[in-house]
Structure 1
Amino acid sequence: MTKTNWGALAQHWLDRLAACSEPGPGVTRLPFTPEHRAALGVLTELMEQAGLAVHLDAAGTLIGRQDGPEGAPALLMGSHQDSVREGGAYDGIMGVVLPVLALMKLRQDGVALPFAVEVLAFADEEGVRFPTALMGPRALAGTFDMAALDLRDRDGISLRRAMEDFGLNPDALPALKRRRAQVLGWIEIHLEQGPVLEAAAQDIGIVTSICGIERHMITLTGTAAHAGTMPMHLRRDALAGAAELTLAAETLARETGGLLATVGALQVRPGVVNAVPGEVALTLEIRAPDDAMRERAGGALTQAAHDIANRRGLRLDITRTYAQPATPCSAQIIERLSKSVEAGNREAPQHMASGATHDTSAMAGLCPVGMLFTACRDGISHHPDEDVPVAAMSSGIRALEACLRQFQ
């Protein structure tokens, strides 16, 4: 009997799912669209081949369930089916396929688990179509804001209408809230979206936490002037101040382990070659696996902005526009995942924080959570060249299978 190459089988299903896309480069699959519907058809076929009972809930989450003993709680696993525009074939959707294949392997081996397992394919994690995200896990955790149903996409279609046109009942969302006693925990497997695992020659990493995020809008205002007639020592150059602040953010992050700081957007006025910039609006984003670290960095960089503005004679307007707390993973699930990965490797797995937000951050409002990362080629994600090696997917399936065998 031919031995199953589970990573290659995962690639087969992911290739089929990648075809559920709008025309164009890479994968574009937005929630509550024909492409979403097509992906649900492929996932339903996969789940049913694994012996799972499949249904679609009111949030558009496809759920494949393997029952356990009567009254037993469920371990939840999964990720999201949607993509960014012209994204890759692995982000999110791989985290649905691999757990199903792990259950398929256990079934083939005749293993009966003492608990139920559900694999969930959430409709919308990326927030590309509507200015909201994570509806599926938030509905399960009871944290979804029903006011978000009135938000509209770029064609003016509300989230409520899109769901109704998809055959869903948005008014039933509150009833999706799970009781904590029903749930053992949540595990998500996702490509790393970075180069750390590949550089370490490891297929799998253990996520310790999901970074908290805060964002600031900053405007520095000086005086626009003729570039040929205003002496350097008399200039009130807003862009020079913004550059100094950008370097201060980079320096602080380089000197603080785990901290990430990014100035990602600049608007320069008047923005012409022969004028001293009179105003610069910029964004500052800070991420850290620990909220205290993030808040200290936010305070330090706010003070740096004031110091730079005072020294350069600039007016400063700074507002924190967004704050999301960090999500620590369960120590118990981290330990179980670590043992599961170690069982198939000669060395201890890499432990790492996730700089990106995932469905796991919302599921933490319901139950203990854990995450695995797979290596991805060149750290590329959200791009048509996104790629997870077959060997890494095989390692992920083995790790999930081993974790399920020991999870009680």
Structure 2
Amino acid sequence: MTITLDQLNAASQAEFTQLLDGSYEHSPWIAAQAWAQRPFASLAQLKLALVRVVRESGREAQLALIRAHPELAGKAMLSKTLTAESSHEQGKAGLSNCTPAEFARIHQLNANYNAKFGFPFILAVRGPRGLGLAKPEIIATFARRLDNPPDFELAEALRNIHRIAEIRLNDKFGHSPDLGNLVWDWAEQLGTHSDPGYAERGELTVTYLTDAHQACARQLAHWMRDDCSFDEVSIDAVGNVVGIYHGSDPQARRLLTGSHYDTVRNGGKYDGRLGIFVPMACVRELQRQGRRLPFGLEVVGFAEEEGQRYKATFLGSGALTGHFDAAWLDQKDADGITMREAMTQAGLRIDDIPALRRDPARYLGFVEVHIEQGPVLNALDLPLGVVTSINGSVRYVGEIIGMASHAGTTPMNQRRDAATAAAELALYVEKRGGSAENLVATVGMLEVPGGSINVVPGRCKFSLDIRATTDEVRDACAADIVHELQALCQRRGLHYRLEETMRAAAAPSARAWQQRWERAVEALGLPVFRMPSGAGHDAMKLHEIMPQAMLFVRGLNAGISHNPLEAITNDDAELCVRAFQNLLDQLATEFP
């Protein structure tokens, strides 16, 4: 028998607690304390109220909650004394049917975990889709989390407890996040395409105009055309996948949205791609309802944003703003293939690129949904955040040149070691990047070409990435780092080369559009949390020609991104789609 919010809102404290019994393992006090926060306007609001009770309960109560949970495949399961909910979850993940070797491995992991942390390992074994995790994934997660610091692991245990409760609440309410499931499944299917050398290892890497990249474009176009019934679908001259859903007047202005479908090397399934899937799901629902908005909706899967294959970023969105640099065509990848050759081989018409520039007068603005790519929302137990501004960024690639020499015969005071100079620079970058609020600086790549264990490095290549909420703070940091590079090379008898590969101005959100996202979040019964974006996005390019604003969704695993552990839940994906639908509804009422 399912329950309803009306039942809960009308219930006494005892009735309320009984209706939610089992949501949190052996911990009815959580529901009892949340009762005072009635009435609840949405299931999402109820879930957050329960989370907040736990957040505010103090460490001892939190530890008691964690210890109320049974071990995975432990004594309680073997003696059949698990709660009905835990028995169902562990059984769904196959833990009640382990091989002797799997039982032994999990038993040892349980022992090691309890010895280190003093509480049982907690994992939402029904997973981010609610269908159950595979045993190898459970065991790998168990082993990985053993390396976490104690405070971090306590927080991770609580996050998993909240996810367990969320799934149990969905069951109680008979709620299925169908639109979130659709988005989640699209991400899984698109994630099957990966570049050679990575695909064989089960890693996701999709770089500009590789076979995997073109397969992704074809797959997106297929979904837009056949699953979502866009009116027009095309792949343009730089590889962008463009879907148009006309308004009631096909000549009406359009809302532009989307994100990128390329990835970093060994990256995640949601960075960029989420911002394509969410509006696709909205169009699918509009078409199923036979509904036309008073404006058009144009969804773009941008072909390139990450700058992985060539020393250029925002190729896809840059083409739409009229900022595609023809000089990029002569850049070569690691295999010596120029961008021009890659585009020609992919069947793209380079001469058509200038015509891709969008006329801002034909558009209402640009909005983008994106995984946060950081730990903030996850740490706050908030599913959605409204972006106030995208940080300005600048990137460089450089090389320090010294003299390769014999490691055994070259005195320490006569070496011209390029690698130690790069290490010294990296330490300065770390220090300078931490010297101002909302400033970050990173040396993400270091390489000693042809290095050998018994040779003093004569060359060292490096990268540099600097970001800040204002261009002034970013540029001051960059100037200081370049000055430090000059000084240390002079002191060490070295020289260097440095090339700026990308510069993007800070992009504050347009106030009216940010407020629309805020109202969309409020309509879900969630609090509005405002935050800057430290990562760059296609929205910062579109910002150059039209108003823009972004919505963030939290990631799992402490919000990690650019990593295979990047993940979201189907419930959070559902909230994204619902928020986007609300934004569209707002626009429909505002449209003249």
SS in 2 for 1:352: strand
For the Cα contact (< 8 Å) 2:240–2:316, is it kept in 1?
yes
In the other structure, the counterpart of 2:514 is 334
After superposition, give the CA deviation of every residue in 1:208-262 in whole Å (9 maximum; x if it has no partner): 113322447475979x999999899x99998887666544433333331100022
Q: Which of the residues 58, 71, 74 maps onto 2:254? A: 74
In the other structure, the counterpart of 1:211 is 392
Name the structure with the higher strand share. 1
The answer on 1:201 being equivalent to 2:378 is: no
In the other structure, the counterpart of 1:27 is 204
Over 3 Å counting, the alpha-carbon distance change for 1:109 and 1:351 in structure 2 is: farther
Identity of aligned residues (%): 33
Q: TM-score, normalised by structure 2?
A: 0.59
For the Cα contact (< 8 Å) 2:204–2:267, is it kept in 1?
yes
> How far is 1:79 from its partner?
1.2
Distance (whole Å) between structure 1 residues aligned to residue 450 and residue 331 of structure 2: 34
Distance (whole Å) between structure 2 residues aligned to residue 229 and residue 40 of structure 1: 54
Name the structure with the higher helix share. 2
Over 3 Å counting, the alpha-carbon distance change for 1:214 and 1:269 in structure 2 is: closer
Matches within 5 A, 1:171-182: 171-182=351-362
After superposition, give the CA deviation of every residue in 1:90-117 in whole Å (9 maximum; x if it has no partner): 2222211111112333444565322111
In the other structure, the counterpart of 2:575 is 395
SS in 1 for 2:382: coil
Matches within 5 A, 1:73-152: 73-108=253-288, 111-152=291-332
In the other structure, the counterpart of 1:59 is 238
> How far is 1:333 from its partner?
1.9
SS in 1 for 2:318: helix
5+ residue gaps, structure 2, are 1-173
For the Cα contact (< 8 Å) 2:305–2:313, is it kept in 1?
yes
CA RMSD of aligned residues (A): 3.7
> How far is 1:52 from its partner?
0.9
Q: Which of the residues 39, 46, 49 maps onto 2:223? A: 46
Q: Which of the residues 371, 374, 387 maps onto 2:553? A: 374
> How far is 1:204 from its partner?
1.8
Bigger Cα displacement from structure 2, 96-105 vs 341-350: 341-350
Q: Computing the radius of gyration over CA atoms, which structure comes out larger, 1 or 2? A: 2
> How far is 1:375 from its partner?
1.3
Over 3 Å counting, the alpha-carbon distance change for 1:265 and 1:160 in structure 2 is: closer
SS in 1 for 2:284: helix
Distance (whole Å) between structure 1 residues aligned to residue 418 and residue 456 of structure 2: 8
For the Cα contact (< 8 Å) 2:228–2:287, is it kept in 1?
yes
Q: How many residues align?
A: 404
The answer on 1:358 being equivalent to 2:358 is: no
Over 3 Å counting, the alpha-carbon distance change for 1:159 and 1:316 in structure 2 is: closer
SS in 2 for 1:162: helix
For the Cα contact (< 8 Å) 2:391–2:469, is it kept in 1?
yes
5+ residue gaps, structure 1, are none
The answer on 1:169 being equivalent to 2:342 is: no
For the Cα contact (< 8 Å) 1:214–1:320, is it kept in 2?
no
> How far is 1:275 from its partner?
10
> How far is 1:163 from its partner?
2.8
The answer on 1:10 being equivalent to 2:183 is: yes
Distance (whole Å) between structure 1 residues aligned to residue 399 and residue 335 of structure 2: 31
Over 3 Å counting, the alpha-carbon distance change for 1:167 and 1:339 in structure 2 is: same
Structure with higher RCO (Cα < 8 A, 6+ apart): 1
SS in 1 for 2:394: strand
Distance (whole Å) between structure 1 residues aligned to residue 449 and residue 347 of structure 2: 48
Distance (whole Å) between structure 1 residues aligned to residue 254 and residue 524 of structure 2: 26
> How far is 1:132 from its partner?
3.0
Amino acid at match of 1:321: E
After superposition, give the CA deviation of every residue in 1:295-353 in whole Å (9 maximum; x if it has no partner): 2223344555677788xx54575666325132313233222222222322432223122
The answer on 1:263 being equivalent to 2:443 is: yes
> How far is 1:171 from its partner?
1.0
SS in 1 for 2:358: coil
SS in 2 for 1:255: coil
SS in 2 for 1:382: coil
For the Cα contact (< 8 Å) 1:375–1:388, is it kept in 2?
yes
Over 3 Å counting, the alpha-carbon distance change for 1:254 and 1:112 in structure 2 is: same
In the other structure, the counterpart of 2:30 is none
